[in-house]
Structure 1
C-alpha cells in the first residue's frame, strides 16, 4: 500500500510539473478532486466556481462577443493559428497530462492533441470560406442572397474520454466564426482543461486579441446547468450520455436556444463472408479495446456472418489474449484503466446480465490487479450472444464486445439499426454491392467500409442520429451550427415589384 501511495504522489508531482511547463498556475485547493485512473489517487484538489462566478464568466464572454464579432474572420484565424503553434510546441506535455487524467495510452493521447492541431488548421482555412449563396431573384433589378453572421456565446460541455479534442473541435471553429466560448469540462478532467485554457489565453495575448473570448468554468453538473439555462448562451454544445442530453435539450429549447448534442453510441461492425479477416481482426480489436472501450465510437456489437463467425471469434480471442493491460505511461501497453470504480461496476453488471440472457463469455472481463485497490484495469471482454437482447441494445461504457450472427445482409443491417443510438457503424467486405447496400442502409451518422467504427478524421463532420443527438462537429459544413443565417434582398432598380406577382395599390 505504501508503494501505491508513493506512486500516486509521484503522479501528483508530475501533474504539477506539467501544468507549470504549460504555463498554467497550480489552482487553489478546493472540493473538486482531480484524480488519475492510473492509480486512483488524487492529482490535485481544485476550487469550483460558485454561481456568481459562472454568471460573471458568461457575462465576460457576452461582452467580448460584441467586439470579437466585428473582427474579420481571417484576422480571427490568427488567434487559432497561434493556438495551433502552441499546441505543437507543447504536444508532449499536454498529451502526458491527458494520460494522467483520462488514462489513455501515450499514442492515443498524442493522437488526441494532434487532432486539436488538425482542427485548428481546418478552422484557419475555413476563415476564408464562410460562404453564403446567391440565388436568382424573380424580380428584375434585385439580388437575393444568404449571408452568415457570428451567433454569440457558445457553451461547450465536454466529457472525460476526449478531454481536449472535443473542446478544440468546438472552440477553434466557434472562434473563427466570430463567437466567444464558455467551457465547462468534465469534473473528471479539470487539469487538461486548465492547461488548454492557459494556452488559448496566451495565444490571445500574443495576437493582441481579447483573452475574454474564452472562459473556463469548473465544477459539477450544477455549473453545467447554469450554462444550459442562461439566455446569453446562444448555442450549447454538449458531449456526454443520452441521459444528459435528454435533460439539456428541452431546457435549452425552452428558452429558444440552440443545441449541438453528441451523445451515446452503441456501434456495430458487420463482417461479411468475403471480408479480409486479417484486416477485420485488426480493425475490430482497435475499435473495441482501444481507450479501454471508453470512446463514444467504440465497437460494442460485432455482427458476423454465420459461415465465418466461429473462425472470427477464435482469431479475436487469440488477439485479445495478446493485449497488454496496465499503466498507460509504460511502453508497450495497449489498454489502460477504466476511468473509475463506477465504470468497472457497470461492466461487471453487464457481463453478469449477458450470462443471464444466455450469453457465453469467450474471454476477458476480469480485473487486473496492478497499481492498487483504487485503480480499475480490466481485460477486454468478448461475449457471444444468442440474440440482440435488451442488454445488448444498451451502451455500456467499457470494453465489452458482443458477437451476434446473421445469414442475410438485410438481417445484419437491421441488427445494426436495431438500437436507439446512431453514431458509428462499419462493414468489412470485399463485395462492392454489399458495401453500397450497407452505406445506403445504415442509419448512423458515420458508416465505414473496411475500417472500424472509431478513428474519425477531422475533415468529415462528426456526429450521429437518433439518441446520439443529431449534432455535427469538426469538419465539412459543421461551421454552420456556430453561425446564424440571414436572407438578404437588395433592390438596385427604381421600381418596387413584389414577389409572387402581387400587385398592391
Structure 2
C-alpha cells in the first residue's frame, strides 16, 4: 500500500477494446475520486502471483461521503417511474453484453478463471440485469375487503432506501449484479464494497451504469484493501442512512455483519458458505451424474459456494463411478486463465492453497486414498495452483467433510441406504444446496422434503437462474436473491393503508 498520487495508466497485461472500462479510483456521486487517506493497494494475478495493478484504498473516513451521496440520490431515484428504471436497466444490460470480452479479460487476472468461464460468468450475470429490468415494472401492491365492515385494506410497496452490497471474489460480476440489479429495479440506491481481490470489474460495472444513464450516487463503489475491509464494512453497516445490507460471503463474516446491523435494526440478506452434498444412487444415469459433477465441482477451481463439497456414491456403483471421475479429472488442463487450452485455472488466493493442503493431508492421515492429484503445483512460477484431485475412502470425521473446501478437490464417500445418506448429507451446520441423482420418482419427492438445504438439485448440478430463488437455510444465511417476486421484495417495504367507507355495503 502507499500513495500513487493519481490514477496512473500503468501497463495492463491484456488489451482492452474499450480502454475507458478500466478504473482504479472510487466511484462516488458520478466521479472518480481517491481516498481521503491517499492510500492505494495492490492486486495480484492468481496465475503468476505478480502484482498487475493498483487500486484506491478507502478507509472509514470515506464511508460517510459515499453513503450520503447515495442517500441524496435516493430522494429522486425512489420517485422515478418504474418504466424508466426498467429502461435504464435494459440499457445497462446491453452495455455489459457489449463489453463482455473486456470484462472477461479483467476477470481472468482478478480471479484466475479461464476465459471461457469468465465469459460464462458474464452471461450468467446479465441474466439478472435482463430479468430485473422486467421486474421493475412488475412491483405492485394489493387491495381487499376487510373483515371489519365498511373497510378496505391496501398495501403499497416502496423502496427501502440506501443499500450496502458486500460482494465476494469468486463471482464478482455475477454476485454484484444480482444485488445491484434487484436494488435498482426496486428503486433503491446502492454502495458496493467489492472484494480486495476483484475491485476493477465492479468499478467497470459502475462506469457502464453511468453510461447507461443512472444518476450520480445511484450506484457507488468503494474499493478496500484486505486490511481495511473489517473496519469499512462495520462503518457501512452502522451508518444511520443505510437501510439494508446484502452480503455474499463466508458464514463467519455473515455473523459479524449481522451483529453490526443489529444495532440499527437494518434489514439483512445473507448468502453464506456451503458444504453441499452430491448424492448418486445406483439407479442414476452415471454419465449424466458425471457430466454435472465435473461442471459443478471444478468450475473456478472448486471455488463456488454451491459446489459439490461431499460426493456420496451408493456402494453398488462406487468403484465404477470413482474411476469415471478419475478419468475425467485427468483430462483437465491446468494453466493460466489467459492460455487458450486451459480448462481449470489457479485458486484466487494463496491462503486457499494452505487450507486445501491441510484438508488433503488430514484425509490421507485418516485413511483416505488420493487417486488423482493431491499436490500443490510449484513449477508454474508464483501462481496459486493446486492439482485437480480425486480422493476415495472418505469418512465423516475428516476436515474435507466438515469444512467448506473451496478448491479443486473431489472427495468420494460410499453409502448403502437412502436413510443413511440423508443423515450424512444433513450432518452439517450449513444448508445452501444439495444435489441427488436417481430415477426413482418416490425417492425424488422424499429427498426434496428431507434434505436440509435452500436449493435442491434433482438430477441436475446447476439450478441457478435469474427466475429461480437463490439462498440457503441454517448457517448458510437467509433471504433470497433472484426469483419471481421474492428478490425485489428483499429491497422493498410494505405499507398498509386502511380506509373506512361511509354508507351501507
SS at match of 2:477: coil
Is residue 450 of structure 1 aligned with residue 459 of structure 2?
yes
Is residue 84 of structure 1 aligned with residue 93 of structure 2?
yes
Given the alignment, which residue of 62, 65, 72 partners 1:63? Answer: 72
Is the Cα contact below 8 Å between 2:247 and 2:269 reproduced in 1? yes
Given the alignment, which residue of 490, 494, 500 partners 1:485? Answer: 494
User: 1:308-387 counterparts in 2 under 5 A?
Assistant: 308-369=317-378, 371-372=380-381, 374-387=382-395
Measured in 1, the distance between the counterparts of 2:479 and 2:386 equals 32
What is the Cα deviation at residue 313 of structure 1? 0.5
Is residue 473 of structure 1 aligned with residue 477 of structure 2?
no
Given the alignment, which residue of 369, 377, 396 partners 1:388? Answer: 396
Aligned match of 1:155: 164
SS at match of 1:55: helix
Is the Cα contact below 8 Å between 1:393 and 1:420 reproduced in 2? no
Is residue 240 of structure 1 aligned with residue 276 of structure 2?
no
SS at match of 2:16: helix
TM-score (norm: length of structure 2): 0.91
CA RMSD of superposed structures (Å): 2.0
Q: What do the CA deviations read for 1:169-198 (whole angstroms, capped 9, x no partner)? A: 111110111100000000111111211111
Is the Cα contact below 8 Å between 1:22 and 1:90 reproduced in 2? no
CA change 1:457–1:401 in 2 (3 A) is same
User: 1:111-130 counterparts in 2 under 5 A?
Assistant: 111-130=120-139
Measured in 1, the distance between the counterparts of 2:416 and 2:94 equals 52
What is the Cα deviation at residue 127 of structure 1? 1.5
User: 1:167-246 counterparts in 2 under 5 A?
Assistant: 167-204=176-213, 209-219=214-224, 220-221=228-229, 222-246=231-255
Measured in 2, the distance between the counterparts of 1:306 and 1:471 equals 37
Aligned match of 2:449: 440
Name which of structure 1's ranges 213-222 and 379-388 shifts more when overlaid on structure 2: 379-388
Measured in 2, the distance between the counterparts of 1:15 and 1:127 equals 39
Measured in 1, the distance between the counterparts of 2:177 and 2:394 equals 41
What is the Cα deviation at residue 142 of structure 1? 2.0
How many residues of Structure 1 are paired with residues of Structure 2 in the alignment? 480
Measured in 2, the distance between the counterparts of 1:334 and 1:25 equals 29
Given the alignment, which residue of 67, 83, 91 partners 1:74? Answer: 83
SS at match of 2:496: strand
SS at match of 1:473: coil
Is the Cα contact below 8 Å between 1:290 and 1:334 reproduced in 2? no
Is the Cα contact below 8 Å between 1:268 and 1:299 reproduced in 2? yes
SS at match of 2:117: helix
Is the Cα contact below 8 Å between 1:152 and 1:180 reproduced in 2? yes
Is the Cα contact below 8 Å between 1:370 and 1:377 reproduced in 2? no
What is the Cα deviation at residue 410 of structure 1? 1.6
Is the Cα contact below 8 Å between 2:366 and 2:398 reproduced in 1? no
Is residue 13 of structure 1 aligned with residue 21 of structure 2?
no
What is the Cα deviation at residue 475 of structure 1? 2.0
Is the Cα contact below 8 Å between 1:19 and 1:26 reproduced in 2? no
TM-score (norm: length of structure 1): 0.91
Is the Cα contact below 8 Å between 1:217 and 1:223 reproduced in 2? no
SS at match of 2:83: helix
What is the Cα deviation at residue 19 of structure 1? 9.0
What is the Cα deviation at residue 22 of structure 1? 4.1
User: 1:494-505 counterparts in 2 under 5 A?
Assistant: 494=503
5+ residue gaps, structure 1, are 1-11, 498-505
User: 1:226-305 counterparts in 2 under 5 A?
Assistant: 226-305=235-314
What is the Cα deviation at residue 407 of structure 1? 1.3
Measured in 2, the distance between the counterparts of 1:36 and 1:278 equals 35
What is the Cα deviation at residue 356 of structure 1? 2.1
